[in-house]
Structure formats: C-alpha cells, structure tokens
A and B are shown apart, each in its own frame.
Chain A
Amino acid sequence: NAGVTQTPKFQVLKTGQSMTLQCAQDMNHEYMSWYRQDPGMGLRLIHYSVGAGITDQGEVPNGYNVSRSTTEDFPLRLLSAAPSQTSVYFCASTKAGTPNYGYTFGSGTRLTVV
C-alpha cells in the first residue's frame, strides 16, 4: 500500500550509540519531515526537507542529522544517543505546491535510550 514506511518500529539504544531511523515514501512527495512526540508537548519538528538535496532545521535539531539523496528516502541519524532522545519519532510527507493537501504520517518509531 502507498504511504510512509518507518523502520524500525521499536529500538533500544545505550547512551552514546548511534543509529539511523529509516523513512521511505512512495507517493512522490517533495516535502518530508521528522517529528518527535513527547507527552504533553505535542509533536515537535526536528528537521525537514523540501526536495532531494535540500534540508533544514526545525525546532529541536540538536543531536540529529538528516540527508535527502532521493525523493523517496529521508533517514534520521542519531549521532550519539542520549536519554533525552527517548521519544516516539514520526516521519511525514506531503506534495509541494498544495499547502492544504495535508501530511501523511508513518506509524512511528518508539526509541528508548538507556
């Protein structure tokens, strides 16, 4: 089925480890974003991309890197995991030029850093 696919669904990391959260969409959407969801804080934007080769920081970018080499993929890298990065991470995508189209969200990655 078409949509946004995130892997893995669950992950436990030790402090200081690195990992990459994968996000892929097959809808040819230009815009892609990463959010983290924490209780009582809604969803906060980490990084976003408006097309291949173009990325920018969101509200809470520290400790995370992204790249966008293809339209389909937008991986999120944790360079050195910290307990404060324990969260649920969502990837989302939408079409450019249609601001009221609405974002499609993946099912999330639940990350625990111990």
Chain B
Amino acid sequence: AQSVTQPDIHITVSEGASLELRCNYSYGATPYLFWYVQSPGQGLQLLLKYFSGDTLVQGIKGFEAEFKRSQSSFNLRKPSVHWSDAAEYFCAVGIQGAQKLVFGQGTRLTINP
C-alpha cells in the first residue's frame, strides 16, 4: 500500500543555518510528490511539486527538493532558514493520477534566534 514517512517529528535549527527535511515514500507507480507548509492555525500552502524531468525542483520561499528514485526519497532543503520558516511541513504523494493525496505525519520546524 502507498505510504509516506517523515522520520523527524520535530527539528530545531538556528536562524541562518541550512535545513533538510526527510521524506520517504512507498508507491508502485510513478509518484507525484509534493511538499506543503502549514503555519500555526492556517491551511496548507504548496511549496513545490515533482512529477518528472529534472530531479531537483525549486519552490517558493527559497525551498528546493530532490527526487531520488533509487532511495524513494524526496527531501526538502533550504540553504539558510529564516525565523518565518517556523511551521509544520508535510510531504505527500499523489496517487491514482492524483485523485487523492497520501500525507506523511509532518515535521514541525522550530527556529532558534
């Protein structure tokens, strides 16, 4: 069955430091992969997406993600975090032609000043 795993429930980084959030998926067909961000009390905002082509995709707010088929991973990165990046981040895989999404458990990011 399809699933998404985000191994890190909570990550704390210092402002200005680099960031990598991990995401592993299990899906037999070509995956449509997404990263969403949720600020406290808000809905989800799409950060970036991957379907095919270049395995390194750029998103909004300076985020990027790299698709590695051999590792079934789609890790999110940012070279230098800002205090405003504190939020919860969700990785998701679109299945059945993206008729529905399967989400990971989420990673809560805290930024130290």
> A residues bordering B, Cβ < 8 Å?
31, 33, 35, 40-45, 48, 50, 58, 90, 92, 94, 97-108
Knowing that A99-B32, A99-B98, A100-B98 touch, tell me 9 more A-B residue pairs with CB under 8 angstroms. Answer: A40-B9, A40-B105, A42-B6, A44-B103, A94-B98, A98-B98, A102-B46, A105-B36, A106-B43
A40-B9, A107-B42, A107-B43 are contacts. A45–B102 as well, Cβ < 8 Å?
yes
* Contact partners of A100 in chain B: CB under 8 A: 32, 49-51, 94, 98
Q: A40-B105, A42-B105, A107-B43 are in contact. Are A58 and B100 (CB under 8 A)?
A: yes
Q: Hey, which chain A residues are within 8 Å of B34, CB to CB? A: 102-103
Number of A-B contacts (CB under 8 A): 64
Check if B25 is an interface residue, CB within 8 A of chain A: no
Asked if B101 lies at the interface with its beta carbon under 8 angstroms from chain A, I say yes
Q: Which residues of A contact B104 (CB under 8 A)?
A: 42
Is B99 part of the binding interface, using a Cβ–Cβ cutoff of 8 Å? yes
Count residues on chain B whose CB falls below 8 Å from chain A CBs.
27
Q: Does B46 contact A42, Cβ atoms closer than 8 Å? A: no
* Separation of A45 and B6 alpha carbons in the complex (Å): 17
Q: Which of A43, A102, A108 is close to B90, meaning CB atoms less than 8 Å apart?
A: A43
- Can you list 10 A-B pairs with a CB-CB distance of less than 8 A? A42-B104, A43-B90, A99-B32, A99-B94, A100-B51, A102-B46, A103-B101, A105-B36, A107-B42, A107-B43
Which listed residue (A42, A94, A98) contacts B103, Cβ 8 A? A42
Expressed in whole angstroms, the Cα–Cα distance for A98 and B94 within the complex equals 11
Most buried by B among A33, A42, A97, A107: A42
Q: For chain B, residues 73 to 113, give those with C-beta under 8 angstroms from any C-beta of chain A.
A: 90, 92, 94, 97-106
